């Protein structure tokens, strides 16, 4: 999966070209930072099509990957694993929720659907989602994470450096060489964060 920011983005924020040593590391650190942001927000950000089995709660399915561009298929999952997902009519609210409680859904559902409690079943949904370009605040967070790593000395455990009478101290998180989110980073990313909604079936 592509990084959420680029070397050009990093250089624009630094106001200079990367050094040779920084260029050797930037791709890996960009990948690390992007993975951490995706893990925290549970969002892929890039435009793509996904098919997932999601829980039905109160007759609705909430799509976890956003923004939702379109929904192409919704199938009720057979909990006994004896039939493929049965395609059913649905109502998409245009944001992130699919309604399966309409009369057409029940009328056209497979026979085994009548034996189930609708609130306890799952649906397989195929939908297209994501951004044409990564949102600017997400790029900014990733760049900040990367720059913090590129500028820290490559000696784990170093707390400070002195040069020409000047002293620079480093935060504890940076001393380990680990790419991390700050509290401010999390605050910025919280608007994208979603609850996990995928369920693992037992068969």
SS3 content of the chain, % helix, strand, coil (to 5): 35, 25, 40
Domain ranges of the chain: 7-44+133-152+172-192, 48-129
| Cis bond upstream, residue 156 (ω within 30) | no
pTM value surpassing 0.85: no
Nearest to 141 by CA among 11, 33, 12, 7: 33
Beta bridge partners of 52: 125
Model pLDDT for residues 99-135, shown as the tens digit of each residue: 987 655 555 555 555 554 443 488 999 999 999 999 9
Q: Rounded to whole angstroms, how far apart are CA atoms 125 and 109? A: 15
Model pLDDT for residues 27-55, shown as the tens digit of each residue: 999 999 999 999 999 999 999 999 999 99
């Amino acid at each position: 999966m592509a990084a959420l920011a680029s070397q050009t983005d990093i250089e624009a924020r630094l106001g200079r070209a990367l050094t040779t040593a920084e260029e050797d590391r930037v791709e890996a650190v960009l990948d690390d930072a992007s993975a951490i942001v995706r893990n925290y927000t549970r969002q892929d950000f890039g435009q793509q099509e996904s098919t997932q089995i999601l829980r039905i709660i109160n007759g609705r399915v909430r799509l976890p990957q956003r923004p939702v561009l379109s929904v192409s298929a919704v199938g009720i999952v057979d909990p006994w694993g004896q039939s493929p997902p049965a395609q059913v009519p649905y109502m998409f609210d245009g944001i992130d929720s699919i309604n399966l409680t309409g009369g057409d859904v029940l009328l056209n559902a497979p026979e085994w659907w009548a034996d189930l409690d609708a609130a306890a079943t799952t649906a397989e949904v195929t939908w297209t989602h994501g951004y044409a370009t990564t949102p600017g605040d997400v790029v900014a967070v990733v760049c900040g994470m990367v720059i913090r790593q590129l500028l820290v000395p490559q000696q784990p455990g170093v707390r400070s450096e002195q040069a020409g009478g000047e002293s620079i101290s480093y935060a504890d998180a940076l001393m380990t060489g680990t790419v991390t989110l700050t509290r401010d980073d999390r605050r910025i990313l919280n608007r994208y964060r979603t609850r996990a909604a995928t369920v693992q079936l037992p068969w």
